[in-house]
Structure 1
Amino acid sequence: MCARERGWSKVRGAAGDGSTNTFRDTVRRAGARWSGHVRQRWRTLPPQRRTLGLTAGSAAVGLAVSLGVVAAAGPWDHGQRTAERSRAAALEADSGGSHTDDARPGPVAGREPAEAPKPAPSAPPVLRPADASGEAPTRGGLAEALRAGLKDEALGRTVGAAVVDVATGRVLYESGGDKPLVPASTIKLATATAALTALGPEHRLETRTVWDPGSRRVLLVGGGDPTLTEDRLAALAEDTAEALREQELHPKTLGYDISRFTGEPRHPIGVNPNLAPLSPLMLNAARTDGSRRGPAPREADPAAAVADRFAELLDEHGVFAGRTERARAPKDARRLAATRSAPLAGLVERMLTDSDNDLAEALARHTALATGEPADFDGARAAARKVLRGLGLPVGHARFADGSGLSRDSRVSATLLASLLATAAHADHPELRPVLTGMPVAGFTGTLGGRYGTEATEDAAGVVRAKTGTLTGVNALAGTVVDADGRLLAFAFLANGTESRGAAHAALDRLATALAECGCR
């Protein structure tokens, strides 16, 4: 019997005879049998068959791992939605990069807003908190399992590592865990946690149109939604034109309001294909090549480009708005129409899976506004620190220079990130579940989709769920893993001063795999 199967046996032995445990045991046995079968067959399959096998088996792995998270964390009623369950059960071809927004969301000319996806049916016997099953790893056991990996020269000059038991929130292991290091994109975990705490998982970002009676013009008001699509903008133009006709209004000009965000629109890294200018009004993150994620050429003035396109769309519906100009909506402006983004829970998942820098910076500014700070870099920095400290997290000497991790001025510790993930799994914080569900799955989705395919790491495919971080000389991995005894652990490994990106990624993946393969006692 393999180590993981022995772990599940211990869980079953401690479960008791109730119907709840009978159901849970059945699922766990199925997951263990499938896992053992995959390990036996994996090395004999050609690459094409491996891909098909992973796709077909992803539902079983996802169910087993999700059950481990549920057992440690408690009810998911407020964080797990039907749509999320469907995506977890059927792996999409683009590894989570496609996110469909409502066709015509938002309150429009008297219509009710489109409804958010309905919560999954509650299942108290399955979702209620369970006793921590299996023994937690010991510090000595973890030190032995991680010692060689942490000494790997591929991890560079400075390494911070931390492992936290999700069931208890106790820090099990640290090695340089309190060192403030450059986190790269793993800082998006902090951005996501702060945004969900300050705004709530059902919050939506709204782009609207209003009528300025004094100037007799339509104003397109940016709401800080970088996920605004051409389809949604077209629907907004149609509804705006309809509202103008119904109210017998004839605009002379079209204005656009970008006062939602303040401060410098350029990120400190300057013009960069990884990030658009920080504007509250942009179409498809100001991409000019039709792409949906990753580096891309961007509009130099995203708001002006959207306004020009909106004028064209209005004209298609018989409304000639004249020239476009930057303006600010007056207090007596009359609402015409609106479009709203997907709920924040979905935006956070998209940001983490795709490592979306534009979305991260937008959410950092919305967090600032929600906490009474200005919507600029300073305000976002202060808001993140304030919100995370309020959750009882060890912010210490952390510095949140930006929301995306593109800045090298950010500093966080491995212990902060691991503790943050344990907090997100706690039953007291169901609003933070998207932090867990949004992280890429090793070997399956997002920025981990092409990793965990080597002989040294393949056993952790589907078991590790983590956010990556990569800058020149900086590599990081922070997430959750189910160990061989069925214990859910949160971990963070931060490496600064690396020389080879590929070698550093492989070393980090081996560390996460070591956690997956051991009981560490």
Structure 2
Amino acid sequence: MRLSRRAMLSGAASTIATTAFAEAPLTSLRPIARTPAKDAIARLVANKGFSGDFGVVVADLQTGEVLEDLDSSKPQPPASVTKAFTALYAVEALGAGHVFETRIFAEGRIENGILDGNLILAGGGDPNLVTDQIAELARRLKETGLREVRGDFLVWDNALVNQDEIDETQFDHLGYNPTITGLNLNFNRVHFEWKREGTNYVTTMDARSANYRPEVTMAQIRVVDRTLPVFTYRDLGNTDQWTVAGSALNNAGSRWLPVRHPALYAGEVFAIFARSHGIVLKVPKETPVAPSGTPLASFESASLRDVMRGMLRFSTNLTAEAAGMAATAARAGVPRGLRTSALGMSRWANARAGGILPSFVDHSGLGDQSRVSPSDIVQLLRAPDVMQVLRPIMRDIDLVGEDRQVINDPAVSVKAKTGTLNFVSSLSGYLRTKNGRDLAFAFFASDLDAREAGKRSGAESPPGARGWNRRARQLQQDILRHLAFRLT
């Protein structure tokens, strides 16, 4: 029985066309002379108004000239900027057109629509599989003529090495810190909803997506009379058992909780839709044996390029981890665990960008033990053929004026990836300036002492974190405006 220390401590409850130009020689960004103090960006950073470190590096993509450099060689947690590395790593290993396939296999003989054997739901590592697609997979199974299964219903999730959580130092109830397996559903989250009726609460746990919201039994929750902790979690083998403090709930509301048995979760949801088509399945059981029977039906994901575009836009941690681990499995020939896979991505980045020294502990940036310097990431952004892959799939970042209103100027664009943890804020990508210059940039901020103190407080959002992160983002915007409109 698993009772997490973190759960008991929890107290309170992420295509622009590029102008063709000759690539500049890829030279190292280290060492670089510090920007003179009179420079406008240096003055902005000197008056940043928040604690900790702030590193800046900006390079001209055509000439290779380093235009700005302030403490750019100091490694800091990259947070979700890591996902830019992951997107390139996955696309280069798997191919932009790669798809993840979720399949149904029959293990045994089928006669007159009756399977005298086991039915297997097999995951192919799809990180973006949702309930609506499970429903479609069940419909495709029905179209094969199958109407009865006499054996067991098995689920297989070993296309990727299972990882209980991305970052074990974070609270168990955080939906963005999910389990990773080869069979994932709804980003491995279950929707918890509550409503007060008299002195009691009515609760539901469902696997909702756009069109369906089937209730599930493998994730359960009880409202208990206490103040703290807000959530506790126990692993009951095949069931996730949560409790929530009644004092933390208002009259009605909802939130997502992580699922720690994703294959059983997907299996239960599939069985619900199969039953709606007249195919009654037994309670799903996990199997470690890769399916070798007859394939009956399948569902393919969008292309990897589109999956990575969505990941960079919405910053989904599960997508990053599954894609990164799939890339490592393709390179190594066998699945690897998360930490080993992240080490493989670090080594790839070092070779890909000419000697940079990133140290990743995951593919999403959720773990704050990863370290990358601003100069490292700009070195990667400048490497041959990287911009052509990353820039079209990176998110458009609005430029905001001093009045906090969005600046609309068609001559200027920012395509980048943000990263945010408590007391960590990062931004890196590509900027096209008003006068048409193409730049690669990275801005990293962190106060690791404050972050550690925040962890010790047991608060999901520790005192001072929101204000610190807001001021860091404001400084990033100030620098972007200067580069976009005042750089000559």
User: How does the TM-score come out when normalised to structure 2?
Assistant: 0.70
Instruction: Give the equivalent residue in structure 1 for 2:106.
Output: 211
Q: How does 1:407-418 map to 2 (within 5 A)?
A: 407-418=367-378
Alignment of 1:376-395 (within 5 A): 376-395=337-356
Cα distance in 2, alignment partners of residues 301 and 330 from structure 1: 18
One of 366, 376, 382 as aligned partner of 1:406: 366
Question: Residues 212 and 329 of structure 1 are in contact (CA less than 8 Å); yes or no, is this contact kept in structure 2?
Answer: no
Does 1:307 pair with 2:267?
A: yes
Q: CA deviation at 1:73?
A: 7.4
Q: Which residue of 2 aligns with 1:232?
A: 133
Find the counterpart in structure 1 of residue 217 from structure 2.
none
| Post-superposition offset of 1:321 | 2.2
Alignment of 1:44-443 (within 5 A): 66-67=16-17, 69-72=18-21, 144-213=39-108, 216-243=117-144, 245=146, 250-267=149-166, 268-270=168-170, 271=172, 272-289=174-191, 290=208, 296-330=256-290, 332-372=292-332, 374-396=335-357, 398-423=358-383, 426=384, 428=385, 433-443=388-398
**Which has the larger share of strand?**
2
Superposed displacement of residue 154, structure 1: 3.4
Change (3 A) 1:166 1:475: same
- After TM superposition, the score normalised by the length of structure 1 is 0.66
Compared CA separation, residues 457 and 517, structure 1 to 2 (3 A): farther
The list of structure 1 runs, each at least 4 consecutive aligned residues, that deviate by more than 6 angstroms after superposition, is 138-143
Unaligned stretches of 5+ residues in structure 2: 1-14, 25-32, 110-115, 192-207, 211-254, 451-463
Change in 2 beyond 3 A, CA 1:249/1:411: same
Q: CA deviation at 1:345?
A: 0.6
Change (3 A) 1:244 1:378: farther
**Per-residue deviation, 1:459:** 4.4
Question: Matched residues in 2 for 1:73 and 1:465: separation?
Answer: 20
Residues 1:190 and 1:460: Cα distance change in structure 2 (over 3 Å): farther
Question: Greater helix percent: which structure?
Answer: 1
Identify if the C-alpha distance between structure 1 residues 330 and 476 changes in structure 2 by more than 3 Å, giving closer, same or farther: closer
SS of the residue corresponding to residue 39 of structure 2 reads helix
AA of the residue aligned to 1:71 = A
Q: Distance in 2 between matches of 1:465 and 1:475?
A: 17
Query: Residue type matched to 2:156 in 1?
Result: D
Matches of 1:232 and 1:142, distance apart in 2: 56
Provide structure 1 residue ranges, at least 5 long, that are not aligned to the other structure. 1-61, 75-128, 130-137, 444-450
Distance 1:379 1:222 in 2: 21
Instruction: Give the drift of 1:388.
Output: 1.7
The code of the aligned residue for 2:323 comes to L
Deviation at 1:71, TM superposition (A): 2.7
Residue 478 (str. 1) matches residue 428 (str. 2): yes
Q: CA RMSD in A?
A: 3.0
Equivalent residues of 2:119, 2:149 under 8 A apart:
no
AA in 1 matched with 2:169: I
Q: Which whole-Å CA distance do the structure 1 matches of 2:365 and 2:282 have between them?
A: 41
- Asked if structure 2 preserves the Cα contact closer than 8 Å seen for 1:464 and 1:481, the reply is yes
Cα distance, 1:387 vs. partner? 2.4
**2:474 & 2:351 partners in 1: Cα distance?**
35
CA shift, 1:352, in A, is 0.7
Change (3 A) 1:501 1:286: same
Change beyond 3 A, Cα 1:154–1:341: farther
Distance (whole Å) between structure 2 residues aligned to residue 153 and residue 291 of structure 1: 42
Whole-angstrom distance in 2 between the partners of 1:206 and 1:399: 31
Contact map agreement 1:183 1:410 (CA 8 A) in 2: yes
CA distance, structure 2, for counterparts of residue 264 and residue 330 of structure 1: 18
Alignment check: 8 A CA contact 1:368 1:375 kept: yes
Query: Is residue 35–residue 70 contact of structure 2 (8 Å, CA) maintained in 1?
Result: no
> How far apart are the structure 2 equivalents of 1:399 and 1:466?
21
Residues 158 and 211 (structure 1 numbering): CA distance in 2 closer, same or farther, change over 3 Å? Answer: same
What are the within-5 Å matches in structure 2 for residues 461-476 of structure 1? 463-476=413-426
Query: Which residue does 2:482 correspond to in 1?
Result: 514
Shift of 1:320: 2.0
Q: Answer whether contact 2:125 2:160 (CA < 8 A) is retained.
A: yes
Percent of aligned positions with the same letter in both sequences? 26
Q: CA deviation at 1:238?
A: 1.8
TM-aligned CA deviation for residue 141 of structure 1 = 8.9
